[in-house]
Amino acid sequence: MKAYQALYPVTTLCRVLGVSSSGYYAWRGRPPSARSQADAQLQAHIEKIHAWSDGTYGTYGTPRILAQLHQEGVHVGGKRVARLVRQAGLQGVSRRPQATTTRQAKDRRPAPDLVNRDFSAVGPDQLWVADITYVPTWAGFIYLAVVLDAFSRRIIGWAISAHLGTELVLDALHMVLAQRRPKDVMHHSDQGSQYTSIAFGQRCTAAGVRPSMGSAGDCFDNALCESFFATLEAV
């Protein structure tokens, strides 16, 4: 209504909208509710997280923003975060750019999800989780690939490179296989092109490692590794 007050009387606008003039002026003079103020503060926090993620770990969408808020101890529901993200006009993109690596043939499906978000393990070398992230340095960004044992919650293999290629995840896997001899371990990751590449699949087959992959674009399907990266970012 405020935008049209220069063109039409307030009484006319109120009549068209079915509200009283006194109610409109009372609403204008009323301070924001506690909920509105809390939403404004939370939205500002969300925008900071989104701005921070842009150019470092990609641009966060609702799932990653929600995970970051929970990591910071902010208890908020996913629907509320999604609403504030929409109101702010924010949009997430994948943090992994398209890379020129050996890709799996289009007619072949990625590995099944053998974990189904259950990252429990009763012993070592039963479940490994793996992922790739960016690490900012004074000289620019480098890529870090890790392999984490779900039982000990320790990083048992890692590799760093200035380039995002299949060799990065292979080097991390080689580090693990050089010191461990698993019999029937699951290797869980996302569906990044490095993990779906033919070279990586062949190495897993040769080592007796069972590949497992979560659904595309869902960070919760690899939450254990995402949690480690969140801790790493806070250091």
pLDDT in tens, 132-170: 988 777 777 788 999 999 999 999 999 998 888 899 999
pTM of the model: 0.54
Question: What average pLDDT does the segment 37-47 reach?
Answer: 84
* C-alpha–C-alpha distance, residues 156 and 130, integer Å: 10
Q: Is 109 exposed, middle or buried (0-12, 13-18, 19+ CB in 10 A)?
A: exposed
Which residues, in sequence order, are bridge partners of residue 135?
A: 142
Residue 2 DSSP symbol: G
Please give the pLDDT value at position 4: 61
- What residues form DSSP beta bridges with 148? 129, 155
Does residue 222 surpass a pLDDT of 50? yes
Q: Is the pLDDT reported for residue 58 higher than 70?
A: no
101-108 mean pLDDT: 45
Query: DSSP 3-state assignment of 221?
Result: helix
User: To which H or E segment does residue 213 belong?
Assistant: strand 210-213
Strand 154-161 and strand 186-189: pairing? unpaired
H or E, element range at 45: helix 34-53
pLDDT confidence of residue 235: 60
Report which of 201, 166, 171, 167 is spatially closest to residue 187, judged by C-alpha positions: 201
pLDDT band at 2 (very low <50, low <70, confident <90, very high): low
Confidence at residue 54, expressed as pLDDT on a 0 to 100 scale: 56
Percent of the chain topping pLDDT 90: 27
Q: Average pLDDT of the chain?
A: 80
Residue 87: pLDDT over 50: yes
* pLDDT for res 51: 73
Residue 202: predicted pLDDT? 93
pLDDT of residue 104: 46
Q: Is 169 exposed, middle or buried (0-12, 13-18, 19+ CB in 10 A)?
A: buried
Question: Average pLDDT for residues 25-44, to the nearest whole number?
Answer: 78
98 pLDDT above the threshold of 70: no
Give the per-residue pLDDT at 188: 93
Residue 224 banded pLDDT, cuts 50, 70, 90: confident
Sign of CA dihedral 6, 11, 17, 21: positive
